[in-house]
Amino acid sequence: MSVSTKKILDMGCGEGWLARELSILGLSVTGLDVIPGLVQEAKKFGGAEFQVLAYEEISDSTITERFGAVVCNFSLLGKESVEHIFKVAPTILEADGYLIVQTLHPSIEQHNYKDGWREGSWVGFNSEFCDPPPWYFRTTESWFELFHMSSYKLIQFKEPINPKTGKVASLIMVGKVSS
């Protein structure tokens, strides 16, 4: 995926591994997360700026910087909180900025393929993540609608394959703020 930008907001950064990796590539990164313990851990490792903030609190007054891209890596778990991010992201993005989302591929839902709350699970994440909260499942169609209703142009849509299993590993979507 090629998105040219220098300033990134890592939304729901956890202990900040992605922010650190992007910083190594020469990008200027800010990570935010609602869990103080994870942000504390992220600050300990350094490599980027980190702050405690809930998605629900994001506005152009709580975040005064402007970013070239907001990256949400497996971090869009709620319903209203996620809808809020889609609504406010253009106000914290530069003109023509990007909203990049990687999420569980909707095909993981075999028997109940409709939007709704699901039991929590951090399977695949490290032990810093405990006590998983419920999360809101969205169908592929629902993700599409979220981008379109929030006035992003969906410019990339990828379904990476796990080369070992041959199964789809995730869903990656890149929206561009329509200017």
Ligand X SMILES: C[S@@+](CC[C@H](N)C(=O)[O-])C[C@H]1O[C@@H](n2cnc3c(N)ncnc32)[C@H](O)[C@@H]1O
Per-residue mark of binding to ligand X, 33-72 (x: CB under 6 A)? xxx--x---------------xxx----------------
C-alpha 27, offset from chain centre = 17
Out of 48, 63, 77, 99, the only residue in the binding site for ligand X (CB under 6 A) is 77
112-151 residues in contact with ligand X (CB under 6 A) are: 125, 129
CB of 74 to ligand X, least distance (A): 5
Helix (H, G, I), strand (E, B) or coil at 29: strand
Instruction: Establish if 28 lies at the interface with ligand X (CB under 6 A).
Output: no
Distance CA 175, CA 155 (A): 6
Distance CA 68, CA 172 (A): 18
**Residues in contact with ligand X, total (CB under 6 A)?**
20
CB of 120 to ligand X, least distance (A): 10
Instruction: Establish if 86 lies at the interface with ligand X (CB under 6 A).
Output: no
- Per the structure block, which two tokens stand in for 12? 């729901």
Q: Provide the CB-side half-sphere exposure for 159 (13 A, CA).
A: 8
Instruction: Establish if 19 lies at the interface with ligand X (CB under 6 A).
Output: no
Distance CA 58, CA 70 (A): 12
Burial 86-99 (b: 16+ CB within 10 A, else e): bebbbebbbeebbb
Residue number with CB closer to ligand X (18 or 177): 18
Select from 117, 110, 8 the least CA-distant residue to 67: 8
Instruction: Establish if 90 lies at the interface with ligand X (CB under 6 A).
Output: no
Out of 28, 51, 81, 170, the only residue in the binding site for ligand X (CB under 6 A) is 81
Residue number with CB closer to ligand X (126 or 179): 126
Interaction site with ligand X (CB under 6 A): 12-14, 17-18, 33-35, 38, 54-56, 73-75, 77-78, 81, 125, 129
